[in-house]
Amino acid sequence: MTLPDNDNLRKEFDSDLENSIDLLSIEELRIKYLGRKGIIASLMESMKDLPDNEKPVFGKSVNELKKYFNTNYESALKKANSEKQSDSSPDFDNTLPGVEISLGKKHPLTQVWEEMLDIFTRMGFEVARGPEVETEYYNFTALNFPENHPARDMQDTLYITDDTMLRTHTSPVQIRTMLSTTPPVRVIVPGRVYRNEAISARSYCVFNQIEGLYIDKGISLADLKGTLISFAKQLLGSNVKTRFRASYFPFTEPSAEMDVSCIICEGKGCRVCKHTGWLELLGSGMVDPNVLRNVGYDPEVYSGFAWGLGIERTTMMRYGIKDIRYFYDGDLRFLEQF
């Protein structure tokens, strides 16, 4: 006696049913098992070749299978329809675009500072920090600014009391670091500094500096130049040219400002470099023996160099930014470009 292979057909159907999760795949299920040319139809078709006495039993078996397919198909269809309905209910519109989660970015000043930090830490420098409210002693006196000397007016100081102020530069952290450690000293100091300046495209009352200090036995001007030239090339590209110009700072002797070839015009001359081909990057010098004495280091034994630069200025140079105030406005149209 020939009978349809109900067990296996049911298994096949069950596994197809499991994958029928939407209206389209449920329709495909119906076509395969219950359609005009489907499995049930072809079983019925094959019945006509059976001997008459076998037909009733075979037919009954096909009917059982058909009922099984039908019931399961219909309940799957019902379920999918009701899900579709709840998807399209008034408080859920599945055609609306998703809510975009926007990631924040690091502020351009933070990005440039982190790059500088990277360069100097690879050279063996560590980060030191100091307070933004300073005493006159750390901000000026210990740095060899003579009492009542006009050099103190080089930086328009915001005083809090007669002898406390918002620091005008990060150099006082040189003093604090040397007082609390013994040489060798190799630090970089990031931080906010304050000056009572008229706000304009080029200057702001608060900005950020990075100070550097290297003290050890036998440190010379050659170390200063080697370190700072290497820094400039890592920051601005190996093609950048550098030059040192003699300058004056009370806490260094000799002092020099370092220029780099204009990164906008590559030294040819443009508006950014005022047609000189050069941009001032930093101030530097060999630490004055008086400063070493003020922190109890013997200048006969130890020597070293220091430098300072403005992070805003450097960032403006690098990207050709024309107005320092963009950094503090919080305007996303500016910030998103970095």
Rule CB under 6 A: which residues touch ligand DAH? 169, 171, 211, 249, 252, 283-285, 306-308
> Would you say 173 or 262 has its CB closer to ligand DAH?
173
Omega cis (within 30) before 254: yes
CB 29 within 8 A of CB 36: no
> Would you say 80 or 306 has its CB closer to ligand DAH?
306
DSSP H or E stretch at residue 260 = strand 252-261
Measured CA to CA in angstroms, residue 77 lies from 17, 20, 69, 74 at distances of: 11, 9, 12, 5
Neighbours of 316 (CB within 10 A): 22
> Would you say 207 or 326 has its CB closer to ligand DAH?
207
Closest residue by beta carbon to ligand DAH: 308
> Would you say 267 or 308 has its CB closer to ligand DAH?
308
Neighbours of 163 (CB within 10 A): 13
DSSP 166-233: E-SSSTHHHHHHHHHS-S-EEEEEEEEEE------SS--SEEEEEEEEEEEET--HHHHHHHHHHHHH
Tell me how far, at minimum, the Cβ of 279 lies from ligand DAH, in Å: 16
Tell me how far, at minimum, the Cβ of 333 lies from ligand DAH, in Å: 31
> Would you say 57 or 199 has its CB closer to ligand DAH?
199
CB 140 within 8 A of CB 165: no
Tell me how far, at minimum, the Cβ of 266 lies from ligand DAH, in Å: 26
> Would you say 262 or 282 has its CB closer to ligand DAH?
282
